[in-house]
């Protein structure tokens, strides 16, 4: 098992390097003045210009520049955001936890939700229960997240007034302990709910197909002939085996969610990576854009690694098979 993990990790490393190199090359391909491209829509004072040219050795051969950039990134130096007047890394480190929080809470609800609906519909296939749930799930999934977000805001925030409409809460808070969690939770509730509904419905569809597939397997017949009850069969033989495809899909989805749910963060003005990305693109703050992209790409690669490991833990055939 340990060997398997190390092997997977070793595969992931070159992939990350390639991502960094590709991103730097893209940055280089932006036409026009390279210094202006790095700084974005921001007047470049001569002092800055000189500092940048020196730092990135813009007059060196291309390969040397790539090498310099890679070593800088590996050491955590993504450059300086002139728009925000601070290092890109510190920007990312400020925004990332918020995105991770939103994605984690969203997934924490989406996965059980999707599994529950998937098992209910998969085990009652073609019945009225199945049809009602499957249709509702499909409709909920078809609603774009930003519109779903708006609907939730209109109902729960504007009409009922239970939750704030946007933001992540006051900058300075007097609340402590549980009250503090509650206060933050009120801001988190709606975006996380929108996220959970959308992703949850996707998981429900995958889970349903997987449950139906599992139910057609021979070992379910064996379980029945052992005299197990329906509930015992579902708990012991259906749940775990049907979850395998879900692990893959949810893992990849989580990885890409870490790059920020751009639409959702915009609707709720949730200042995470997605919103940072949108703002930086608008202001042509390219160093920040590249920084966020590299961060997200690495997050995706790491999540895939985690998925592989989790999958091997759930499916013994993979552990010993290869």
Partner 1 sequence: MTASQSRRPGLTERLLDVHNLKVHFQVSDRTIRAVDGVDFHVRPAECVGIVGESGSGKSTLVRAVSRLMPNLRINELSGDLRFEGRHILEMSERDLRALRRSHGFSMIFQDPLGYLNPTHRVGRQIAEALSPQGKGRPDGQRVHSLLQEVGFSDPKSVAHSFPHELSGGMRQRVMIAIALASDPKLLFADEPTTALDATVQLQVLQTLYRIHKERNMAVVIITHDLGVVAELCDRVYVMQTGKVVETADTVDLFERPKHSYSARLIELSAHRVDFRSAAP
Residue 15 C-beta-side C-alpha neighbours within 13 Å: 13
Taking each continuous run of H as one helix and of E as one strand, the counts in the chain are 15, 2
For residues 3 and 285, the answer to whether their CB atoms sit within 8 Å is no
241-300 positions binding partner 1, by CB under 8 A: 241
- The residue from 50, 135, 222, 269 that contacts partner 1 (CB under 8 A) is 222
Instruction: Identify the burial level of 194 via C-beta atoms within 10 angstroms of its C-beta, where 0-12 means exposed, 13-18 middle and 19 or more buried.
Output: buried
| CA 127 from centroid of its chain's CA atoms | 35
Looking at 84-92, 103-111, 294-302, 314-322, which segment touches partner 1 (CB under 8 A)?
314-322
Query: Which listed residue (31, 218, 231, 322) binds partner 1 by CB under 8 A?
Result: 218
Strands (E), 192-279: none
Q: Which is nearer to partner 1, 105 or 207 (CB)?
A: 207
- Asked if 131 touches partner 1 (CB under 8 A), the answer is no
Closer to partner 1 at the Cβ: 59 or 320?
320
- One of 70, 228, 283, 306 touching partner 1 (CB under 8 A): 228
Q: Which of 38, 223, 262, 264 binds partner 1 (CB under 8 A)?
A: 223
Confirm or reject binding of residue 217 to partner 1 (CB under 8 A). yes
CB of 133 to partner 1, least distance (A): 20
Handedness of CA 224, 226, 227, 233 (dihedral sign): negative
227 is a site residue for partner 1 (CB under 8 A):
yes
As a whole number of angstroms, the distance between CA 103 and CA 61 comes to 41
Which range touches partner 1 (CB under 8 A), out of 89-97, 142-150, 224-232, 271-279?
Answer: 224-232
Residue closer to partner 1 (CB basis): 64 or 222: 222
Closest to partner 1 by CB, 49 vs 125, is 125
Q: Measuring CA to CA, which residue among 279, 275, 259 is closest to residue 267?
A: 275
Q: Does 128 bind partner 1 (CB under 8 A)?
A: no
Interacting positions 54-113 with partner 1 (CB under 8 A): none
Should residue 221 be labelled a site residue for partner 1 when binding is judged by CB under 8 A? yes
Q: Which stretch binds partner 1 (CB under 8 A): 7-15, 214-222, 279-287, 289-297?
A: 214-222
- Decide if 187 contacts 265 (C-beta within 8 A): no
In the complex with partner 1, which residue's Cβ is closer, 64 or 127?
127
Which letter does DSSP use for residue 259 in this model?
Answer: T
Residues whose CB is less than 8 angstroms from the CB of residue 259 and which lie 6 or more positions away in sequence, other chains included: 99, 273, 274, 277, 292, 293, 295, 296, 299, 300
Q: Cβ distance 286 to 30 under 8 Å?
A: yes
Closer residue to partner 1 in complex, CB, 162/219: 219
Q: Which two tokens stand for residue 156?
A: 């729960």
Collapse the DSSP code of 195 into the 3-class scheme (helix H, G, I; strand E, B; otherwise coil) and give the result.
Answer: helix
Query: Regarding beta strands 80-81 and 86-87, do their DSSP bridges make them parallel or antiparallel, or are they unpaired?
Result: antiparallel
Number of residues lying near partner 1 (CB under 8 A): 24
CB 100: neighbour CB atoms within 10 A?
17
The minimum distance between CB 206 and partner 1, in angstroms, equals: 18
Tell me which stretch binds partner 1 (CB under 8 A): 84-92, 177-185, 233-241, 273-281: 233-241
Q: Which stretch binds partner 1 (CB under 8 A): 24-32, 39-47, 213-221, 292-300?
A: 213-221
Binding site for partner 1 (CB under 8 A): 216-219, 221-229, 232, 236-237, 240-241, 314-317, 320-321
């Amino acid at each position: 098992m340990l060997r398997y993990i190390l092997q997977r990790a070793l595969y992931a490393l070159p992939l990350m390097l390639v991502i960094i190199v590709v991103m730097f090359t893209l940055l280089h391909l932006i036409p026009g003045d390279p210094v202006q491209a790095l700084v974005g829509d921001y007047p470049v004072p001569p002092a800055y210009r000189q500092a940048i040219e020196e730092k990135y050795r813009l007059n060196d051969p291309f390969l040397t520049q790539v090498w310099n950039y890679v070593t800088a990134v590996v050491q955590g130096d993504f450059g300086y955001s002139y728009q925000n007047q601070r290092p890109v890394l510190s920007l990312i480190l400020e925004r990332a936890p918020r995105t991770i929080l939103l994605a984690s809470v969203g997934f924490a609800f989406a996965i059980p939700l999707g599994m529950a609906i998937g098992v209910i519909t998969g085990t009652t296939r073609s019945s009225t229960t199945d049809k009602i749930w499957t249709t509702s799930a499909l409709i909920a999934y078809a609603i774009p997240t930003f519109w779903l977000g708006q609907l939730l805001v209109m109902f729960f925030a504007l009409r009922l007034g239970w939750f704030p409409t946007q933001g992540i809460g006051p900058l300075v808070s007097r609340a402590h302990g549980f009250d503090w969690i509650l206060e933050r939770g009120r801001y988190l509730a709606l975006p996380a709910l929108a996220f959970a509904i959308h992703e949850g419905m996707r998981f429900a569809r995958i889970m349903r197909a997987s449950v139906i597939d599992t139910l057609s397997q021979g070992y379910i017949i064996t379980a029945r002939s052992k005299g197990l009850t329906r509930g015992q069969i579902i708990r012991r033989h259906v749940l775990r085996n049907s979850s395998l495809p879900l692990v893959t899909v949810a893992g990849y989805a989580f990885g890409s969610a870490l790059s920020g749910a751009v639409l959702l963060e915009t609707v709720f003005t949730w200042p995470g990576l997605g919103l940072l990305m949108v703002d930086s693109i608008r202001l042509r703050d390219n160093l920040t854009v590249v920084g966020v992209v590299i961060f997200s790409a690495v997050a995706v690669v790491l999540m895939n690694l985690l998925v592989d490991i989790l999958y091997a833990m759930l499916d013994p055939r993979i552990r010993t098979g290869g």
